Homo-oligomer: A and B are copies of this chain.
Amino acid sequence: MDKITPVILCGGSGTRLWPRSRAAAPKPFLQLVGDRTLFQETLARCSGHAWFTGPIVVTGRAHVALVEAQLPGDEDSQVIVEPQGRNTAAAIALAALRLPEDAVMLICPSDHHIADGEAFCEVALKAAALAAEGWLVAFGIEPDGPETGYGYIKRGPWIEGAAAAGFRVERFVEKPDRARAESFLAEGGYSWNGGIFAFRAGTFLDELTRHRPALAEAVRTAVAGGREEGREFHPDENAFARIVSESVDYAVMEHTERAAMVPAMIGWSDIGTWSAVRAARDRDGAGNSVRGPAELLDCRDVMVDSDGPRISVVGLSDVIVVVDGGEVLVTNGAGSASVGKLKGASGE
């Protein structure tokens, strides 16, 4: 079988995991679950099998030092350094242009947690087989609730053929409101779009050129004028600045005739809120989870996480306390979705 090249997208920065996540310590580089960072988890998930090549990491200037520090020093890896963020369509195109046409890329965001690494690999193999046949394949995450924070994928008919391992995509749906999300779950056939894809490099570039010719051309120019520095590749800065910022969903997936999806029950979480972090962490019999110095008395479903000061909690249920860099955040499962609205989270 063909090898799979992991393309690890390592950019952006959110505010919903404030005060832990900040500009200087963005989400992929935090040990949010277990003792590895989400970026290290992603690397580990895409290695350890002979059919994975070394990864291509696409990141921004601000994060290169963190990437280099956490990326093993093997020669088989490559780091593409974007002069600025231009969203996922451009990031994936950069990687595709650095690969042979028939290479199969596995696009992996590095700010997600996947509990079941083995299942991930199985799904990746199925997706890669479809990608090798010219499909643009999305992982379809099995929904466990009417989430309004993700895009949805409505699946179409089963794909007949040798590599048969998935469905055609009937359509991609942008983040729905609550009522629509509920109707999706009631209707069935919908999964979450977790932003994990498998593409043949050539197919991706063909489809990008078909649907976003200017974007594709701008990325080509940026790559043609780029320079290598060790394992780093730096696209041409001026050309890159002219690239339009679009997501791969919007630029390609929603338009291509060749969109497919493979169902992925892989224990996926986007770790988008402190509530999601709590759910992904080990918890004791009372549902409590502790990092850093802490004492919990008569508590249930309490998560505390401190970078130093002791946190003492008495008599509470469903509370999340995070102490970091002199900031104290106290919220609960429902409230954690609004943490990004805090002044502190926006740097005030």
Contact = CB atoms under 8 A, between A and B. Distances in A.
Nearest to A331: B314
B311 A335 contact: no
* Identical chains bound together, number: 2
A311 B330 CA distance: 8
Contacts of A335: 297-298, 314-316
A341 to B, nearest CB: 6
Interface in A315-332: 315-316, 319, 321, 323, 326-332
A125 interface: no
A277 to B, nearest CB: 15
Contact of A328 (B297, B306, B316): B306
Interface string A158-187: 000000000000000000000000000000
A129 B330 CA distance: 52
A311 B342 CA distance: 11
Interface string A9-52: 00000000001000000000000000000000000000000000
A311 B19 CA distance: 11
A41 to B, nearest CB: 27
A300 to B, nearest CB: 12
A84 interface: no
11 contacts: A295-B343, A297-B341, A311-B328, A312-B342, A314-B329, A314-B335, A315-B331, A315-B335, A319-B330, A321-B330, A323-B328
Interface of A: 19, 295, 297-298, 306, 308-316, 319, 321, 323, 326-332, 334-336, 338-339, 341-344
